[in-house]
Amino acid sequence: MSKELSLILTLLSPVIGGLIYGFERIVRARMQNRQGPPLLQPFYDFLKLMDKRSIMIHSFHAFMGIMYLVGTWFSLYVLLSGGDILIAIFFHVLSLAFLVVGGFSVRSPYSVVGAMRELIHMLAYEPIFVLTAAGLYLVTGTFQVSELLKTDTVPILSLPLVFIAFILSLPAVLKKSPFDIAEAHQEIIGGPEIEYSGKFYEAVYTAKWIEYIYAFFFVFLFAGSNYLLGAILVVLSFFIVNLIDNSTARVTFRQMVSFHWYILIPLVVINLMLLALWRA
Amino acid sequence: MEQAVTLLIILPWILALAVFLSPNHRLRQVLTFLSLPILTYLAYMVWSSDLPYFIETPHWVELGITVFDYFLLGYFLYQGFKFRSFLVSVLAIAQIFLLTWVLLILPHSITPSIYVDRLTAFMYLIVATVGSIICIYATKYMEQENVERENRFVAILLWFLGVMNFAVSVNNLEWFFALFETTTLASYILIRFRWDEISIKNAIRALWMNQVGGIAILIGILFAVKYYSVYNFTDILKINAAAISMIPLGFLSISALVKGAQMPFHKWLLGAMVAPTPVSAILHSATMVKIAPYLILRISPVIKGTLLAKLLITTTGFVFVAAGLLALTQDNFKRILAYSTISLLGLMMLTASMGSSIAVLASLLLILFHAVAKALLFLEAGIMEKVFHVKYIEQMRRLIEKAPITVFFIALGFMSMTLVPYGIFIAKWITLEEASKFLSHGAYIASIIFITIGGVILALLYFKVIGVISRKRGEFVSFKPEKLPFLYMITTGAYVLFTIIGSLFIAHLSSDFINLIVKDISGEFANVKASGLTLITPVSQLYGWQIVGAIILLMVVPIFAYFVHFKADKVYEYTCGENIPLNIGTYNFFCVSKIEPFIETTAVALFVLTLVLGGGLV
């Protein structure tokens, strides 16, 4: 990907992410046999939020919400500009750190509990992301996204179990059921986002759209230079994630962590071991 | 050159004596302050001279060290009787017996006993800068605690620096044993410093645990003499790695694991928390525990790729995760730091035992940046204790309102241990990339899992603490930095500056400076290059704009956060209309303590496996 294209894509990512989010709401509604909101609904929400009276707890908290947006955007740019996958993953941790510190900085029980759960989310899915990166390296011989998109091999053929594990960890990344414990509306009323409103909530909201692109870009990488296959994989995983979201109920954080650690990580490891065996 | 090395060893002892004898507090401060420029200059002299370098020592030094050994062990025995500690006495007797045996069979060797290479000079530099700054800080700290015993305290700290310098420059394993046990003595005296019941108890525990490490070294020497007929590091490194018996190296690794407070021997380092804070700072950052990765780095070219190395990777990787998990259950700030040291020491030894040039580079980066970050955090812990009178996380609530600068430094210290682009993160990153190359062996896959899981657990831990201290009631009306004593500001400020600048120029630091050490250890340069701020590794690149971007995000943001004021209406927190008292604790993860027995059992099992299978005792 050329520098200009990656820059343009990164700048447009909130729009693309918003469209994906709008599309997702329609898909989910159809799965539940409802009509659903129009495609542009997220942008209507956006405009409405911009227009709201801006209220906040204190500036530090609001500022951290904005930094969450900037950090996520930055990590997406690292990915799109052809940087190192591991670096992108750790930049994403950095952006989450802002959200978490923001969540902690107010004296609201919901926000604090939500921030803590956000960290536990990270505990669950982070190893799978890094192991996925290691798996992609094992197949393609590079950690650079720019090189990965040019490689002749199709990583998913050698990494089917890694791919399955990665897809199953997406609900935790995107805070979807059954792993939406960080912002469980029925229990903690939105978690770390609860105290944001108006423009400041807007920042957090947009960051979530960008996170969509960030997560699905990894799925795209599984196809290597075969962009068509990549697009198919993204669409497929998008439907699977939404199907899981619609058909499951929330679990506890212990179940989430043990699912990731005891089922998904071994799945990845088995794939890597078999691959190493195959090579040797 | 020879004089510089001798001075590096002797001068701290002389300064210590001068500080001990000087009657006046100011004079003591000046004397302590002298150690920083002098030791740094000497260490730099050694670094810039033609290395590696052997130094012949006169015969009487050897004799002197043997006599000193017996005095030391006799003292341990006396302490064992005095405090009625069965373990200390028995271990001291065993050591005396083994030492006599070693001395009887030790063949004559023409290899000089002092060997100074880049690794040694690197340790000198850390001891000289990080260590001396802690000593300077200690003069101020003791001013607020107990001036009468200040001379004693600071003198021991300074003396400890000399001992450490000596320990990293010996080539002869028997001398290494002597110095290893001298650091044990130093830590024993320092932990006991307050002379209350719990201090003595913990000091005794530290003593016997480290004695176990000493015994492992002695047995290692016995086997080394039996199998290779040599007992110098340089001679052992010359032996063909394929033909070598691993038993002596297995025992040496065990002693490193004990000194590095790896589980199940972690209790002594935790016990050290009862001592005054500068003790913890110096033990954790510049001296003592750093012997552990140093020792593994010394033998890493020989053990690279062997079963011993793989078992060491598994053991230390396990400790990296387990110590992080146990740290989550802690409430005492210093104990959290202690557990995270144990955890990161595991990571240092993991990378050191991988042994490839890039892994060695990662290990050295970890040693350097961990020394600075831990020194910074412990000094902050001391400041909080003395200025704000808080020791527990629960007491640190809303500290940001009272002490913005301290909170900023603590947050920086914590972030420098987990996040992009700080040195420790970069070491972790290149280790992950390096380990990905060897996925054919389970130990390397395990190491990736351990590094990532341990990494996020530590992130969880640090953000838990940052979260508690950054919670606040309302807006910053005006920025009021707290008034800290000048010496506190200047010492911690130095570490903060180094962390930021060192991480910014990490590419040049590792390719021009650390790489020279890698060459001396593993015989070849690590394949990393710098172009501008960009760090280029064999498989990937960390671009300069990423480093700068991350530093701006991390540095400017917290500073901005004090000054940015949005125009918006202020409201109180939304609590669903419930009228609850707003006094929120933090997660304490008691659920983790349930698995503590399991963790200890596994740690013991891994220790035994490392020794028996890795060392090839079967």
Q: Domains of chain B: which residue ranges?
A: 301-618
Q: Which of B455, B441, B439 is nearest to B366 (CA)?
A: B455
In this structure, how many other beta carbons lie within 10 angstroms of the beta carbon of residue B231? 25
- B174-178 long-range CB contacts below 8 Å, 24 or more apart? B174/B65, B174/B102, B174/B103, B174/B106, B174/B221, B174/B231, B175/B65, B175/B113, B176/B217, B176/B233, B177/B69, B177/B99, B177/B214, B177/B217, B177/B218, B177/B221, B178/B65, B178/B68, B178/B69, B178/B72
DSSP 8-state secondary structure symbol assigned to residue A54: P
Partner residue opposite A143 with nearest CB, options B435, B539, B543: B539
pLDDT given for residue B440 in this prediction:
67
Q: What region, left, alpha or beta, does residue B532 occupy, with left being phi > 0 and alpha being psi -120 to 50 degrees?
A: left
Please give the DSSP secondary-structure letter assigned to residue B172: B
* B449/A265 touch (CB, cutoff 8 Å), yes or no: yes
Lowest mean pLDDT among A44-53, A221-230, B140-149, B387-396: B140-149
Dump pLDDT digits (tens) for B207-232: 888 888 899 999 988 888 888 888 88
DSSP E strands: which ranges in B475-558?
529-531, 534-536, 541-542
In this model, does residue A41 exceed pLDDT 80?
yes
The residue written with tokens 């990662």 in the block is B362
Q: Which residues of A touch B473 (CB under 8 A)?
A: 107
Q: Give B377-390 pLDDT, tens digit per residue.
A: 998 888 888 888 88
Q: How far apart are CA A249 and CA A245, in angstroms?
A: 8
| Number of domains into which chain A is organized | 1
Sequence length of chain B is 618
B317 conformational bin, left if phi > 0, alpha if psi -120 to 50, beta if neither:
alpha
pLDDT at B513 over 70: yes
Please give the mean pLDDT across all residues of chain B: 85
Residue B565, pLDDT above cutoff 80: no
Name the residue facing B575 among A94, A108, A199 (closest C-beta).
Answer: A108
Q: What is the percent of chain A with per-residue pLDDT over 70, rounded to a whole number?
A: 99
The angle formed by the CA atoms of residues B10, B13 and B15, to the nearest 5 degrees, is: 110
Q: Does the CB of A258 have a partner CB in chain B at under 8 Å?
A: no
Least Cα separation, residue A195 to chain B (angstroms): 7
Length of chain A: 280
**C-alpha dihedral sign at B482, B493, B333, A124:** positive
d(CA B399, CA B516): 43
Average pLDDT (A41-65) is: 84
**Cβ–Cβ under 8 Å, residues B307 and B253:** no
SS3 A63: helix
- Distance spanning both ends of chain A, measured CA to CA: 34
Torsion from C-alpha of A17, A22, A24, A30, nearest 10 degrees = -170
Q: Is B13 exposed, middle or buried (0-12, 13-18, 19+ CB in 10 A)?
A: middle
Segment B527-545, tens digit of pLDDT: 888 888 888 888 888 888 8
Q: Say whether B415 and A97 touch across the interface (CB within 8 A).
A: yes
State the Cα–Cα distance between residues B183 and B255, nearest whole angstrom: 13
Cβ-based contacts of A272 with chain B (< 8 Å):
439, 445
The mean per-residue pLDDT over the stretch A95-124 comes to 86
∠ CA B237-B238-B244, nearest 5°, is: 75
Confidence band of B618 (pLDDT split at 50, 70, 90): low
Q: What is the average pLDDT across B588-592?
A: 78
Residue B490 tokens, joined:
């200047």
Is B549 in Cβ contact with A74 (below 8 Å)? Answer: yes
**B598/B93 Cα distance (integer angstroms):** 33
Decide the pairing of beta strands A55-56 and B569-570.
parallel
Residues in chain B within 8 Å Cβ distance of A194: 574
ipTM of the prediction: 0.88
Whole-angstrom distance, CA of residue B438 vs CA of residue B418:
24
* Encoded tokens for B42: 């000497």
Q: Of A192-201, A206-215, B273-282, B391-400, give the range with the top mean pLDDT.
A: A206-215
Q: Which pLDDT score, from 0 to 100, does residue A166 have?
A: 92
Scan residues 124-153 of A and list those with Cβ closer than 8 Å to B. 126-127, 130-131, 133-134, 137-138, 141-144
Q: What is the mean pLDDT of residues A201-225?
A: 88
Can the peptide bond before residue B485 be classed as cis, meaning omega within 30 degrees of 0? Answer: no
Task: Provide, as residue numbers in chain B, all residues whose Cβ is less than 8 Å from the Cβ of A56.
Answer: 566, 568-571
Residue A88 confidence (pLDDT) above 80: yes
Across the interface, whether the CB atoms of B546 and A142 are under 8 A apart is answered no
Q: At what angle do helices B86-105 and B173-191 cross, to 10 degrees?
A: 160
Domain extent for A48: 3-279
B53 sits in which H/E element: strand B53-55
Distance CA(A177)–CA(A184), nearest Å, equals: 9
Determine if residue B27 is left, alpha or beta; phi over 0 gives left, psi from -120 to 50 gives alpha, anything else beta: alpha
Q: Residue range A32-61: average pLDDT?
A: 84
Q: Is A188 exposed, middle or buried (0-12, 13-18, 19+ CB in 10 A)?
A: buried
Residue type, B5: V
Indicate the pTM of the whole model.
0.91
- Picking from B452, B541, B553, the nearest residue to A74 by CB comes out as B553
CA distance B284 to B194: 19
- Contact between B216 and B176 under an 8 Å Cβ cutoff? The reply is no
Q: What does the pLDDT read at residue B477? A: 67
Per residue in B422-439, pLDDT (tens digit) is 888 888 888 888 888 877
Round to whole Å and give the CA distance between B177 and B213: 9
B433 contacts on A by Cβ (under 8 Å): 86, 137, 143
**Tokens 């394949």 sit at which residue?**
B527
CA distance B324 to B318: 10
Chain B residues touching A200 at Cβ < 8 A: 566, 568
Euclidean distance between the first and the last CA atom of chain B, given in angstroms as a whole number: 45
**What single letter denotes the amino acid at residue A43?**
F
- Contacts of residue B545, Cβ cutoff 8 Å, sequence gap at least 6: none
Of B425, B464, B473, nearest to A90 by CB-CB distance is B425
Query: In the numeric block, which tokens belong to residue B300?
Result: 């890493």
* Inter-chain CB pairs, A–B, below 8 Å: 208
Cα–Cα distance, B260 to B348 (Å, whole number): 10
B79, with CB counted inside 10 A (0-12, 13-18, 19+), is: buried
* Rg, C-alpha atoms of chain B: 24
What pLDDT does residue B581 have? 67
Closest CA to B219 of B231, B208, B234, B207: B231
Residue-level pLDDT at A254: 85
CA distance linking residue A181 with residue A192, whole number of Å: 11
Q: Which whole-number Å values give the CA distances from B551 to A195, B259, B336, B544, in the listed order?
A: 27, 34, 25, 11
Residue listed under structure tokens 């420029």: B37
Between CA B172 and CA B284 the distance in angstroms is 25
Q: Worst-scoring range by mean pLDDT, A232-246, B126-140, B577-591?
A: B577-591
pLDDT value of position A1: 62
Helix (H) or strand (E) holding B192: none
Q: What would the two tokens of residue B276 be? A: 């005054």
Which residues on B lie below 8 Å from A261 (Cβ)? 453
Residue B226, both tokens: 């039996």
Q: With contacts defined as CB-CB under 8 Å, which chain A residues touch B586? A: 112, 116
Alpha-carbon distance of A82 to A76, in angstroms, equals: 10
Q: Does the distance separating the beta carbons of A134 and B419 come in below 8 Å?
A: no
Q: Determine what percent of chain B is predicted with pLDDT higher than 90.
A: 5
Q: In B239-356, which ranges are continuous DSSP H helix? A: 247-259, 267-271, 277-281, 291-303, 307-328, 333-354
Instruction: Note the pLDDT of residue B406.
Output: 87
The pLDDT score that the predictor gives to residue A165 is: 92
Q: Which of these, B258, B276, B410, B425, lies nearest to B344 by C-alpha position?
A: B425
Residue B42: pLDDT above 80?
yes
Average pLDDT score over chain A: 86
Predicted pLDDT at B249: 87
CB B441 within 8 A of CB A107: no
Question: Closest residue of A to B565, CA-based?
Answer: A59
Residue of B328, B422, B546, B569 best to disrupt the A interface, most CBs of A under 10 A: B546
Chain B 531-590, residues with CB within 8 Å of chain A CB atoms: 539-543, 546, 549-550, 553-554, 557, 560-562, 564-576, 580, 582-584, 586-587
For residues B598-612, b (16+ Cβ closer than 10 Å) or e, as one string?
ebbebbeebbeebbe
Task: Report residue B297: phi and psi, to 5°.
Answer: -60, -40
Nearest Cα neighbor of B260 from B177, B367, B101, B150 is B367
Question: Strands B529-531 and B534-536: what pairing?
Answer: antiparallel
Asked whether residue B398 carries a pLDDT value surpassing 80, the answer given is: no
Q: How far apart are CA B594 and CA B608, in angstroms?
A: 23
Binning pLDDT at 50, 70 and 90, where does residue B194 land?
Answer: confident
